[in-house]
Structure 1
Amino acid sequence: MLLQDGSHLHDIPSALVAKAVALKLALLAVQAPDNTKVTCYSDFQVLIRLLKSGGHSNELFGILEDIRCISRSFLAISFTYLSRTENFLVDTLAEAQLSSCITSLDGV
């Protein structure tokens, strides 16, 4: 299975890495001259903590730096923790979209 950037879903070793990759891809998708202020929400508290603190993680080697580099293209960016229960609708839609992508790719 492929992500939009060509990487394989089965190559993602953990939920934390998957969330970080998803955030990176989302930031790349909204990167535009007219998008100067961005707020990123995640239900993964560890990821938000690492981004806010400037911390590092061996598991996220390179991905955190990519996110920080992309973040510099915005005038203002914030990373906010949002619990899964508060984000139920978006989480459900994201899972449905992922399932749809997997089904589409299985037919290829």
Structure 2
Amino acid sequence: MTRGVRSWSHLRAAAPCKRSRADRPDEPLLRAVTAAIQTDTELARQYREVLLQPQMAAVAQRLERGGAVDPDAAAELLLGPVLHRWLLRSRAFDHDWIEQHVDRTLRGAEVD
């Protein structure tokens, strides 16, 4: 597991601790698109093809390089709770939570 943990330091370092997604000027637009894709199947398809799938693939590739047994599932483990916090505005994205979440993801991803 040591090899995988070392390769994850870039996730912790790059995590958006200082500025939450809600502070970004594009946040209202992203929320509007998120709401619209619930009822607009064509927009949902475009969102998946243009934004979601390439981003998930990039995250999965990084997880695979870190030794994740199932990188696609690990990408969902990593990003699902982030989307949940953002979408429901349930809690902040502080540094401690991000560190703990990355650690949880590593354990759940069964990093070699």
TM-score using structure 2 length: 0.30
Greater share of residues in strand? 1
TM-score using structure 1 length: 0.31
Higher relative contact order (CA 8 A, sep 6+): 2
Greater share of residues in helix? 2
